[in-house]
Every structure is written in structure tokens, then in C-alpha cells.
Amino acid sequence: MDHVTTFAEFIIKLLGALCGFKPTFDNIIYSDSNLADNDMISLSLNDTFKFSCSRQVPCFNECCRDLNQFLTPYDILRLKNHIGIPSNEFLERYTQQHVGPESGFPIITLKPDHGSDMKCPFVTSNGCSVYNDRPSSCRTYPIVRVVSRSRETAEITERYMLIQEPHCLGFKEGKTQTLKEWIDDQDMAVYNKMNDMLMEIISLKNRLKPGTLDLKSSYLFNMACYDLDRFRSHILDQGLLDDLKLNSDTLYMIRTDDVALLKLGLQWIKRVFCGTE
Ligand code: SF4
Ligand code: SF4
């Protein structure tokens, strides 16, 4: 798998929660008018499908233009570290911010290159320049992960759909693999785990405190979820979380480990917005 497209997982999983977009089959169809009913196939983990993407496909790079690429907090963490710049610089240089009309939470999208087919800033003639740290929706394509969370038990249920878009020729001569092999091959476990933490916060917030955010709340969400280096500096230099009486191990982790810092940020946001740990 060399690279992939944009909107599948986010449309279902994050936009669904942020904007009130409900993860149903109809919405998936709605998300792309070129899709017909038989272009969407539900898959179980042991089901097989035929697909592969490489530089040899005639449609190479086709899916990295007309960009509508949403980024999750973990996507941003991986991308800014791949490029080697601080989070605020990454956000400024490569992204645009929107407001989820239902939740009021800030939503981040990649800033397309307006001069050339709205292509992704990371696509090159050799494919994806951030391949090892490409966003989760790029990884899973042409699979969509549909997630729901039980209000009673908080249990997360997932199911998977295969999307066969007309422009994608990777189905023609692809290798046959099970869905489970595909998920493992794309290294999705860590992305799913981190994205599900955000999903839980959004669904809790929409249920407990529906409506827009004030400017301060929006700033805090943006910092703890997307602008991790600023969040780190606010904790270490400005005492942002002093009331939590963080121990020395946690403070060390905050200095050195972005993933642990993001987990802390998500837990803190959950407490601030939902009043729950
Ligand atoms: S991040 Fe990579 S795979 Fe994803 S749209 Fe951009 S160039 Fe394509
Ligand atoms: S085969 Fe599909 S995923 Fe690969 S480049 Fe073509 S359109 Fe993109």
C-alpha cells in the first residue's frame, strides 16, 4: 500500500460526532455522490477483499487531490513529529480550523494547495511524503471503520465497510487479504485507540452539554488536543494543571512523551467538558 485518500474514516467517525453527522449507511452514500449501493460492502475481520495500491497503478496520486482531509489529534501528533516542527507551526502552516456546528469543538483539516487541484500539501510525484505517519483515514482507505459507543456500558462497537470508488483502480489487480490482515498491515490499532478516546469525549459533550463553546473553552480544547507543544509549555511553565498535583513521573512523561501528553490532554478535556474522568 503506497498511499491513499481522504475522507472515509473521519466522515464516519469524527465529523459524525463533531457535526451531528450520524454514522449510517445513508450518510456514507451521501458523502460521495459517485458511490452506488453496491460500491459499499460490509466486511467482518476474516472476510477477504482484493486491493493494493502502488506507484504502478494508473490512478497513482489521484486520491490525494480534491482534498477534504480531516485530522484527528493523533494524526497531528504523528505528522508534526514526522516533519520535525512544533505543533503551533504545523497547525499554522498546514491546516485550517473550523467549528463543529453541533459540538462547537474546533475541527482541523489539512490546508490544500489551492493552485493545483486542491492537492494535499504532502503529495509528491513519488507519492506520500509523510507515508510512515500518514493520517488514519489515509491508512484505512478503502476501508471505513464505523464506530458506535453504548451510553449504558460505554462499550465501543466497530464495524467495517469496503468502499469501491470509481476512480480507484487498486481493486483491479490487487492482492487478496483478510480485513484483519489489512488493519494490522496499516498499523491501525494505535490510531483507533487514540481516536476512540476523542470519540468518547465528543459524544459525552454532545449529550451532557450540547451547544457551542465559549472562546476560552475552544482555546483549551484546541491546545490540549491539537497544539500539544503549547499544552506542554502551559503545564510546565505556567502551571496549567497545578491543581492536579502531578507527580514527578508524570511531569517527566509530559516533558518527553507526546503520546502520553495527548492522553493526559484528552483525560483533562473530558474532565473539563464532561465533569468525568
Ligand atoms: S497525507 Fe499522504 S496519503 Fe494522505 S492525502 Fe496527503 S499525500 Fe495522500
Ligand atoms: S489505487 Fe486507489 S488508493 Fe491507490 S492511488 Fe489509486 S485511487 Fe489512490
Task: Assess contact for 86 and 231: CB atoms under 8 A.
Answer: no
Our answer on whether the CB atom of 69 is closer than 6 Å to any ligand 1 atom is yes
- The pLDDT, as a whole number, for residue 72 is 94
Q: What integer pLDDT is reported at residue 38 of this predicted model?
A: 62
Q: Rounded to whole angstroms, how far apart are CA atoms 254 and 266?
A: 13
Q: Kindly state the percentage of the chain with pLDDT values over 70.
A: 85
Task: Give the mean pLDDT of 93-114.
Answer: 88
Bigger pLDDT: 57 vs 68 = 57
Comparing 57 with 206, the larger pLDDT belongs to 57
- Band (277; pLDDT cuts 50, 70, 90): low
Residue 13 Cα, ligand 1 centroid: separation in angstroms? 19
Cα(147) to ligand 1 centroid in Å equals 23
Judged against a pLDDT cut of 80, whether residue 8 lies above it is answered with no
Residue 17: per-residue pLDDT: 41
User: Closest ligand 1 atom, CA of 124?
Assistant: 7
For ligand 1, whether the C-beta of 128 sits within 6 Å is yes
Residue nearest to atom 3 of ligand 2 (CA): 4
More confidently predicted of 21 and 188: 188
Rounded to whole angstroms, how far apart are CA atoms 99 and 173?
Answer: 41
pLDDT surpassing 90 at residue 144: no
Q: Which helix (H) or strand (E) holds 223?
A: helix 215-225
Q: Is 60 in the pocket of ligand 2 (CB under 6 A)?
A: yes
What pLDDT score does 250 carry? 94
Q: Cα of 160 to ligand 1 centre, how many Å?
A: 21
Best of 60, 66, 137, 186 to mutate for ligand 2, by most ligand atoms within 8 A of CB? Answer: 60
Q: For residue 99, what are the β-bridge partners?
A: 106
Q: Is the CB of 4 under 6 A from ligand 1?
A: yes
**Residue 76: pLDDT above 80?**
yes
State whether residue 161 is helix, strand or coil.
strand
* Chain mean pLDDT for the chain: 84
Q: Who wins on pLDDT, 226 or 137?
A: 226
What three-state secondary structure class fits 246?
coil
Overall pTM surpassing 0.85 (yes/no): yes
CB-ligand 2 contact for 161 (6 Å cutoff): no
Query: pLDDT exceeding 90 applies to what percent of the chain?
Result: 55
The residue to mutate among 3, 9, 53, having the most atoms of ligand 2 within 8 angstroms of its beta carbon, is 53
User: How far from each other are the two terminal CA atoms of the chain, in whole angstroms?
Assistant: 38
Q: Whose CA is nearest to atom 4 of ligand 1?
A: 138
Ligand 2 atom nearest to 58, measured from its CA: 6
Which amino acid residue places its CA nearest to atom 2 of ligand 2?
A: 168
Domain ranges of the chain: 2-213
Q: Would the CB of 123 count as within 6 Å of ligand 1? A: yes
| pLDDT value of position 35 | 52
| Any ligand 1 atom below 6 A from CB of 64 | yes
Question: Is the C-beta atom of 167 inside 6 A of ligand 2?
Answer: yes
Question: What is the pLDDT averaged over residues 81-89?
Answer: 98
How far, in Å, is the centroid of ligand 1 from the Cα of 172? 21
Under 8 Å between Cβ of 190 and 133:
no
In tens, the pLDDT along 161-219 reads 998 888 899 998 788 999 999 999 999 999 999 998 988 888 888 888 888 888 999 99
- Max avg pLDDT among 34-48, 134-148, 180-194: 180-194
Is residue 13 within 8 Å of residue 158, measured between CB atoms? no
